[in-house]
Structure 1
Amino acid sequence: MPSIPLLVCDDSSMVRKQLLRALPPEWAVSVTEVDNGKAGLEAIRNGLGKVVLLDLTMPVMDGYQVLNAVREEGLQSHIIVISADVQEEAVRRVLELGALAFLRKPFDPSEFRATLHKHGLLAVPQQDVAANAPQIDGPSSFRDALQETVNVAIGRAGAMLARVLDVFVQLPVPNVNLLEVGELHMALADVQRGDERLTAICQGYIGSGIAGEALLIFHDSEIADMATLLHRDGNDGGDLEMLLDLSTLLIGACLSGIAEQIDVVFSQSHPQILGEHLAIDELISVNSRRNQKTLAVEISYSLEGHDIHFDLLMLFSEDSVQLLNKKLAYLMN
């Protein structure tokens, strides 16, 4: 009997390797790997995804759009979603769109195999195990490992934010780069839309020699809507208190998610107002004390149904890169 066309659709090469390693050895599959939803949908249309392992947060086309297109086009595919977007609403939506199951990242190999058994996806006998064994490339890169670690962390932070605000949080693909100070200024400049004013909160952190600072940037035009969501008074003092509370929640949840995965305990300073009601060039001036390379993780949350964004930059010191590399080594191999 021919092998089953299995599609692994995830923008992280590291996660794709982990999934391939977790496949039951007795399962006869022919594997196709893609790194975005558009390529995944095309593979399903071409019969290469009778079984699909699907991420949600991807570039070009996300997992929700893939599920919707599969349903609308009547494509025959058994889809298991494996995602860091662990909001209750995310789980409800993917099951409503036709996914067989939802597994949270980082996925548990035993739960993964149990899910395959539960849905009868292993009930096809195999002719030749060796011939059908998927080929797995070499080690993952540091950037890919850190990006996926952050992806899991921001998914948990997003779920917490969704509960606090009672909204659906649209999660981004985190962007990881080693930046010179001038490039960091350009990254900050990308945050601004038009000539609007910004308010920024900063919070330092350190653990096991890994140190850095988080910058959470709010768009002043959106602060009143945030206050409405949180049922807060719209005065200046109340607004600043609200922003500090949101920063503590969001930055703390992201750091906690990262720390848990790399076995570090971060100590955090109190959040502080870096700048209030500033144009981006003024904010850059306030933040110009950095004169070395910075490992920057750029994250931009948005709230469905609201013109509200949370732009978060996690800035690790240059000295932290080697230590992070060691901590992430187990994921890269």
Structure 2
Amino acid sequence: MIPLLVCDDSNMARKQLIRALPADWPVSISQAANGQEALTLIRQGQARVMLLDLTMPVLDGYQTLAALQAEGLSCQVIVVSGDVQEEAVRRALQLGALAFLRKPADPAELHRTLAELGLLTPSEPTPAPATTSAPELPELKVSFRDALREVSNVAMGRAGALLARALGVFVQLPIPQVNIFEVGELHMTLLEAQRGEQFSAICQGFIGEAIAGEALLLFHDSQLQDMARLLGIQPHDNTQNAEMLLDLASILIGACLSGIAEQLDLRFSQGHPQLLGQHACLEQLIRVNSRRWRKTLAVEISYSLEGHAIHFDLLLLFTEDSIRRLTAKIGYLME
């Protein structure tokens, strides 16, 4: 039996990955929720092969790969990540990963990769269709919030890759946050996080198959000049700044919604991005637009650009009525 370690902070991601394993691959499976847990298991000899995520708390995938090299630990690593930037792939391979697969892992591609690395023998059969059972494992409990966070993580990674190509930078991706807020709680959370700063904001509505909501993209005004310079735009031209924000919003919002829709087998109709406000404090933006929001399911994503003091916040705000349909769609995905 080959000791296999699946390292990802999401129960949903681990469940999907274990299901994708070749049915007849003789492995004993261990799990870790972050790199620190993974290193402990590897030091104990419980992992000869590891399937490793990049975006995790405590110790991320890059730090885990670096620690393996620094300690001279023997473990064959395949990265399986939603961060599909070309630079993310390059860095992972430079740190010793043997291969890089995008989430969610395709069973045939995973099988092919394992075979190419010599981890499967030629005599082992090719994987059957997706209905084939994966190696036995105690049932993984996946909550709605964890599942939506993982779906958002994959969508976020695709949007980050597009943004990286457009700007020629490496985009640092966070762990998405998923919460259900009363309208007052959402406002208070935003105000406490961004007190005293001025913002420009873009909103874009979306609807599809009993799911509706708005995407809200917040740009810190203090960083707009740096962003404009990065794109070769005159930093004090308000018209060009507005066009720049709308273009960036189209990339981020469009790619995120497309990624979510693809995973959940949905189709969203999207409104045109609209400039919600420029150079206003967040309290003003909230007060002027408070009628847009009620109780909401909020997915929060904060993008940062490496080497630049630039970050912006994307919120996907789903209506309360959308939660039942989202729950059903995610439940089907987990079956």
> Is residue 50–residue 77 contact of structure 2 (8 Å, CA) maintained in 1?
yes
Aligned partners of 1:140 and 1:290: how far apart in 2? 31
Aligned partners of 2:39 and 2:241: how far apart in 1? 44
Change (3 A) 1:291 1:108: closer
Identify which of 287, 296, 299 aligns with 1:297. Answer: 299
Stretches of structure 2 that go unaligned for 5 or more consecutive residues are 125-133
Aligned partners of 2:265 and 2:309: how far apart in 1? 36
Change (3 A) 1:33 1:202: same
Kindly report the root-mean-square deviation, in angstroms, between the aligned alpha carbons of the 2 structures: 2.0
Give 1:10's aligned amino acid.
D
Give the match's secondary structure for 1:289: helix
Aligned partners of 2:80 and 2:182: how far apart in 1? 35
Give the match's secondary structure for 1:328: helix
In structure 2, the residue matched to 1:90 is: 88
- CA drift of 1:97 comes to 0.7
> Is residue 139–residue 332 contact of structure 1 (8 Å, CA) maintained in 2?
no
In structure 1, the residue matched to 2:204 is: 203
Aligned partners of 2:289 and 2:36: how far apart in 1? 39
Residue by residue over 1:156-208, the C-alpha shift from the partner in whole angstroms, topping out at 9 and shown as x without a partner, is: 1000000000000111111111111122113322541x622111111111111
In structure 2, the residue matched to 1:6 is: 4
Q: Does 1:80 find its partner at 2:78?
A: yes
Give the match's secondary structure for 1:99: coil
In structure 2, the residue matched to 1:229 is: 230
TM-score (norm 2): 0.91
Identity of aligned residues (%): 62
Q: Does 1:216 find its partner at 2:217?
A: yes
> Is residue 57–residue 83 contact of structure 1 (8 Å, CA) maintained in 2?
yes
Aligned partners of 1:186 and 1:107: how far apart in 2? 38
In structure 1, the residue matched to 2:172 is: 170
Q: Which runs of 4+ in 1 moved over 4 A?
A: 123-126
| Stretch deviating more after TM superposition (18-27 or 29-38) | 18-27
Aligned partners of 1:280 and 1:213: how far apart in 2? 17
- CA drift of 1:281 comes to 2.4
Residue by residue over 1:70-92, the C-alpha shift from the partner in whole angstroms, topping out at 9 and shown as x without a partner, is: 11111111000000111111111
In structure 2, the residue matched to 1:46 is: 44
Stretches of structure 1 that go unaligned for 5 or more consecutive residues are 127-131
TM-score (norm 1): 0.92
Aligned partners of 2:18 and 2:31: how far apart in 1? 10
> Is residue 141–residue 332 contact of structure 1 (8 Å, CA) maintained in 2?
no
- CA drift of 1:152 comes to 1.1
> Is residue 115–residue 122 contact of structure 2 (8 Å, CA) maintained in 1?
no
Aligned partners of 2:39 and 2:189: how far apart in 1? 32
Identify which of 259, 271, 282 aligns with 1:257. Answer: 259
Aligned partners of 1:26 and 1:59: how far apart in 2? 32
Aligned partners of 1:257 and 1:21: how far apart in 2? 21
Residue by residue over 1:118-159, the C-alpha shift from the partner in whole angstroms, topping out at 9 and shown as x without a partner, is: 111235999xxxxx9542315522222211111111111000
> Is residue 22–residue 107 contact of structure 2 (8 Å, CA) maintained in 1?
no
Aligned partners of 1:73 and 1:236: how far apart in 2? 52
Give 1:64's aligned amino acid.
Y
In structure 2, the residue matched to 1:33 is: 31
Change (3 A) 1:163 1:190: farther
Give 2:5's aligned amino acid.
L
